[in-house]
Structure 1
Amino acid sequence: MIQSANPRPRLFLAIVALAYVGGVIAYLPLLTLLLPLKIEALSGAGRIGLSAACVTAGAVAASLSNVVFGWLSDRSRQRGGGRRRWIAGGGVATAASYAAVALATTPAALIAAIAFFQVVVNAMLAPLMAIMAEEIADGDKGVAGGLLSLGPPTASAFSAWLVGEALLPAEMRLALVPAVVLVCIVPLLLVHGRAAPVAADQAALALPPRRDLIVAGVSRLLFQIASVVTQGYLLFYFESIVAPAGHGLLPARVGHLMTLAFVVPLPIALLLGRLSDRARRRKPFLLLASAVAAAGLVGMAGASGWTAGAIAFIVYTTGASVFVALQAAFAMQLLPNPDHRGRDLGLLNLANTVPSLLGPPLAWWLATPQDFGAVMLLLAGLTVAGGLAMLGVRSWR
């Protein structure tokens, strides 16, 4: 592996973080707000079925393409071409996919456009994560993981602005997103790629065994099941604990709550990420974050009104956001082969997509419109199990 004698300046962390924010903006506004509006305009009464078809097709396309493009960027790097060409190509193709979504006039065309979108956006995201793994030194990966927490709140704020601008036509909204994405990724494309230096006390260590990456994947999968259920069913959860008279105001209140819940973890994730870098230990911080997330879910199970439920949800998202950010940084240190970082990170990404297929059946099985207590307690147990699973990682502390 080519190594650099000098570490990257801290400005590089900001450049990578900006590119990651662009990656989140590429998918979050479309999938959470713009696509539902398009589906409603296109399908009306059939919107539930069309939405499910789009989500399923998109999830399958995302799972496969992330692995494929991670592997392709590995091959490009081995041949001296680097990974940035894939990010650039994915960014341009993402703009084309937004045009396809805007021009779709039938349900079949929209499903195909969303599947195409998921393929090309992952062509951008897969090599981006591999660049983080190989160009950011291990001593800065905790901070880098904390910076990943900037993505969701920034993209959420941008989404809210897009929808809030009543004078913007739907086509203009769909055009603005890829334009902002390209602005965010260009600085990274202009920075020459080079591998991060390896610390002297780590250079002689053996590469991590593949089992450690599998353990990290199982841990993330358990954690992400809770994320899928809490975010996908949050409005229904609050309808179960708020008096019917207040249901009319719930969509706006839940939207504001989610924005706040994304913002609160930011400074905490950055602080704990830096502390984990300095201590050169990740597991204690991951266990603490998983315990906080589980406590929030238990609080949601026992809440009987808006205030208690909202506080418990913020506690959960704080712990979960910190865990996911630091675990992403930790996982980058567990890659068993530097020649296959992109492919292995793509396989690890399955732990982010498979829960979309596992979470809804759990909610259907255990939750009712009047009671989400049982499913929240089960999710708390899965969250604790996800945190404890990281103790099975042997190659790093």
Structure 2
Amino acid sequence: MTEPAILASASSENTAPDGARPAPFAEPTAPVTGRWITLFALAWLGIWMAQLTPVQLLLPVQVEAQLKAHDWVDNVVAFGVVSGIAGAFALLAYPLTGALSDRTVSRFGRRRPWIAAGALLFAGSLVMLGRQDGIVAIGAWWTAAIVGFCVLTAALTATISDQVPVGQRGFVSGWISAPQAVGTIAGIVLVTTVFLGQFTGYASMAVLLVVLVIPFLFTKDAVLTREQRPKLTFGELLSGFWISPKRFPDFGWTLLSRILVNIGNALGTTLLLYFLKYHVKAADPDSSLLVLTLIYMFFVVLASLFLGRLSDRIGRRKLFVLISSALQGIAALLLALFPNLTVATVGAGLLGLGYGCFLSVDQALATQVLPDPAARGKDLGIMNIATAVPQAVAPLLGAVVVAYLGGFGVLYLASGVISVLGALAVLPVRSVR
């Protein structure tokens, strides 16, 4: 069957009522149901608790306990190296998983087998990580956990392009970012009040991950026939990792914007505790961090749900990406120029408002600039690199800037400038308003 015939067949199948099995390469038109969105959001809640609770608390404490360094910079650098190695593996895991899921032939569909496999690898690695007491083993099992995270989220993100019509994508994408905010707070509260101890903390996050992802596996997923499956050779797989910005400029500009904004945001948030402790010299930096985090998360949830839906209604994406990136830049510049707790409180609100809007609207924008409907998983996997890798390398980059390149003022100045450049990078996109 030729590609045009496949696409024509897919389009006709996609006119089935909501709840019917979607076609592999069709542009979806039937709205997804509230049940589908609920299960999608619950899956992301489990994912973010399992990924961000270790990043924010469990892993730094575990690394610090092994290192026993007296200088906080040494601890941050060690944590940054562990995160950076895991981030390097994410560079391969995201697009590879996406490419393989695009070509998966099974009666369970293309994405669900990878969602299940990724969840099991992620959860199992977290359980093993909780038992480690050597820095090399910690790094190895955290890397395995991040690979599982990439496998799971690459396949789950691709379901947006597969099943969600354009007019719903801003709202649905908001249910990726809103659970991120809730999951961060919920995970930290659980491991500090209920599931105490290193192993128990990691194991509880692993169990919650599996419990919350499993229900989504009972949603529909398109089945790819062997005749429809794109060819898979090593050369084609390797060449598919490169998407020419000259041939597909909208994809290139969107990817660049995402890289810059996520680097700016990560530099602005990952060393906030140290900023409060050593630069602002807050009387109670731990309590101050909790307050700032709650403010940040509140505005992330608010912006991701309401502004994502608003972008659907008015059919505009670029305007929201511009505003969200600019807000993050302003927040970082305020912290650079006026380093005090009052300004930090305002900055936390602006940063949350900007990043929450960016997460939902930019995800919707990314799904609209994909070059090939038969390679959605792989192309979104490349887009996802721009989110995961900056978060992985930010602790190390931030520590280097603070220790050797001018301190926290330079760090937040760099964060603000990079975020503004990310806003400007979306301007040349022409296929999306």
Query: TM-score scaled by structure 1?
Result: 0.87
For 1:178, the equivalent position in structure 2 comes to: 206
Most deviating of 349-358 and 82-91: 349-358
Q: 1:353 to 1:15 in 2, by over 3 A?
A: closer
Q: Out of 420, 423, 428, which is 1:384 matched to?
A: 420
Q: Deviations over 1:178-225 (max 9, x none)?
A: 111112112210011249xxxxxxxxxxxx962211111100111112
Taking the TM superposition and a 5 Å limit, the aligned residue runs for 1:260-339 are 260-339=295-374
Give 1:79 deviation, angstroms. 9.1
RMSD of Structure 2 on Structure 1 (CA): 2.7
Q: 1:298 to 1:39 in 2, by over 3 A?
A: closer
Partners in 2 of 1:303 and 1:152 — Cα distance?
A: 28
For 1:394, the equivalent position in structure 2 comes to: 430
Identity of aligned residues (%): 27
Partners in 2 of 1:16 and 1:111 — Cα distance?
A: 30
Give 1:130 deviation, angstroms. 0.6
For 1:258, the equivalent position in structure 2 comes to: 293
> Are the counterparts in 2 of residues 93 and 120 from structure 1 also a CA contact under 8 Å?
yes
Give 1:233 deviation, angstroms. 2.0
For 1:127, the equivalent position in structure 2 comes to: 155
> Are the counterparts in 2 of residues 22 and 181 from structure 1 also a CA contact under 8 Å?
yes
For 1:145, the equivalent position in structure 2 comes to: 173
Q: Out of 89, 106, 112, which is 1:61 matched to?
A: 89
Partners in 2 of 1:85 and 1:153 — Cα distance?
A: 27
Q: 1:367 to 1:325 in 2, by over 3 A?
A: farther
> Are the counterparts in 1 of residues 102 and 376 from structure 2 also a CA contact under 8 Å?
yes
Q: Deviations over 1:281-306 (max 9, x none)?
A: 11122222222222222222222421
For 2:256, the equivalent position in structure 1 comes to: 218
Partners in 1 of 2:65 and 2:314 — Cα distance?
A: 53
Which residue identity is paired with 1:381? V
Taking the TM superposition and a 5 Å limit, the aligned residue runs for 1:185-200 are 185-194=213-222
Q: 1:103 to 1:265 in 2, by over 3 A?
A: closer
SS for the counterpart of 2:369 is: coil
For 2:229, the equivalent position in structure 1 comes to: none
Give 1:258 deviation, angstroms. 1.2
SS for the counterpart of 1:103 is: coil
Unaligned runs of 5+ in 2: 1-6, 18-29, 224-245
Most deviating of 285-294 and 131-140: 285-294
For 2:271, the equivalent position in structure 1 comes to: 233
> Are the counterparts in 2 of residues 221 and 352 from structure 1 also a CA contact under 8 Å?
yes
Most deviating of 346-355 and 130-139: 346-355
Unaligned runs of 5+ in 1: 196-207
Query: TM-score scaled by structure 2?
Result: 0.80
> Are the counterparts in 2 of residues 236 and 369 from structure 1 also a CA contact under 8 Å?
no
For 1:20, the equivalent position in structure 2 comes to: 44
For 1:97, the equivalent position in structure 2 comes to: 125
Q: 1:190 to 1:380 in 2, by over 3 A?
A: same
SS for the counterpart of 1:99 is: helix
Partners in 1 of 2:402 and 2:117 — Cα distance?
A: 44
> Are the counterparts in 1 of residues 46 and 212 from structure 2 also a CA contact under 8 Å?
yes
Q: 1:286 to 1:166 in 2, by over 3 A?
A: closer
Give 1:77 deviation, angstroms. 5.5
Give 1:338 deviation, angstroms. 1.2
> Are the counterparts in 1 of residues 262 and 386 from structure 2 also a CA contact under 8 Å?
yes
> Are the counterparts in 2 of residues 101 and 113 from structure 1 also a CA contact under 8 Å?
yes
Which residue identity is paired with 1:230? G
Q: Out of 342, 345, 349, which is 2:384 matched to?
A: 349
SS for the counterpart of 1:157 is: helix
For 1:45, the equivalent position in structure 2 comes to: 69
Most deviating of 347-356 and 312-321: 347-356
Instruction: Select the structure that is richer in helix.
Output: 1
Which residue identity is paired with 1:28? L
Partners in 1 of 2:43 and 2:422 — Cα distance?
A: 28
> Are the counterparts in 2 of residues 141 and 277 from structure 1 also a CA contact under 8 Å?
yes
Q: 1:178 to 1:354 in 2, by over 3 A?
A: closer
